[in-house]
Amino acid sequence: MLNLSIDKNNPTPFYYQIEENIRALIAQGVLKPGDMLPPEISLSQQLGVSRITIRQALSDLTNAGLLIRQRAVGTFVAQPRKEVPFIRERLGSLTEEMAQLGLELKSRVLQQELITATGDIMYELEMKQPAKVVLIRRLRSVKGIPLALETAYHPYDRFPDLLTLDLTDCSIYEILNKRYNARPVFAHDRFVASLVTGETARLLDINDGAPVMRLMRTAKDRQGLPMEYSISLYRADRHQFSIHYREE
């Protein structure tokens, strides 16, 4: 039984009091990531409120990213979300960003092959006609927990070594910089919300139909030449994107 209580003489709505109590338990470390909360009916009986009130509190905390609700399974404390700011001093890789947080990013190569670019790939890499690109698909994880599924396309005529190098647990940006003196200094990022199923959901260790944030990036070097087009699927329960505005 959770150490939860509400003051029925307090004009503050019951659902909000419950939310604040659970927030406090998470902040104090009493409730840890992965801990399962009691069922709605148990909390309803414990606090003497309706299940609708309990459901409102849990839904608000889920929307805030503090809880994860899995149908027919239960409600769990979510892992802390990694904040991805929109204002950055430099264009860095996910490997570099995680290292700045003191975390080691692991990368498992799922696909690494030579293909002919068509459609969106040609357009994003500014190709006038179909040409060979190196397709690299990797699962990025921290402490065994999947964070993102990344699919990247690089021009083969510029970066042929990417086809044969071992890309496990390394930064492709760092490889391009060291081997080809090429580093992205400009990127156009686009975000859309998506739902995933099947193998993609399994790789990210989320339920079928779970939401993800899809980041599509086109990166260019100092000469303005496209060097990467990538599509990354970020687990929505592990990331939050923040926007910082600054007026000069």
Q: Of 33-37, 61-65, 77-81, give the range with the top mean pLDDT.
A: 33-37
pLDDT digits (tens, 9 = 90+) for 2-26: 889 999 999 888 998 999 899 899 9
Instruction: Output the six-digit token pair for 45.
Output: 């009986």
Contact 76, 65 (CB under 8 A): no
pLDDT at 89: 44
- Nearest-angstrom CA–CA distance, 114 and 107: 20
Q: What is the pLDDT averaged over residues 19-37? A: 90
Q: Residue 98 pLDDT more than 60?
A: no
Indicate if the pLDDT at residue 71 is higher than 90.
no
Which of 13-22, 64-73, 171-180 bottoms out in mean pLDDT, i.e. has the lowest? 64-73
Q: Which two tokens stand for residue 226?
A: 């496209």
Least confident of 16-25, 60-69, 116-125: 60-69
> Mean pLDDT, to the nearest integer, of 45-50?
94
pLDDT given at position 223 = 93
Contact 153, 228 (CB under 8 A): yes
Q: How confident is the model at residue 243 (pLDDT cuts 50, 70, 90)?
A: low
Q: Which CATH architecture has domain 14-77?
A: Orthogonal Bundle (1.10)
Residue 93 has pLDDT above 80, yes or no: no
| Mean pLDDT taken over the chain | 85
pLDDT at position 247 is: 55
pLDDT at 97: 61
Binned at pLDDT 50, 70 and 90, residue 102 comes out as low
> pLDDT (tens digit, 9 = 90+) per residue, 195-234?
888 999 999 988 888 888 888 899 999 999 999 999 999 8
Q: Specify the pLDDT at position 96.
A: 61
* Mean pLDDT (whole number) for 125-134: 92
Is residue 142 within 8 Å of 104, Cβ to Cβ?
yes
Collect all residues with Cβ–Cβ distance below 8 Å to 42 and sequence separation of at least 6. Answer: 1
Of 106-115, 116-125, 204-213, 238-247, highest mean pLDDT: 106-115
The top-level CATH class assigned to 82-242 is alpha beta
**Residue 67: pLDDT above 90?**
no
Give me the residue spans of the domains in the chain.
14-77, 82-242
Q: Give the whole-angstrom CA distance, residue 223 versus residue 123.
A: 18
3-class DSSP assignment, residue 15? helix
Which two three-digit tokens encode residue 220?
């260019």
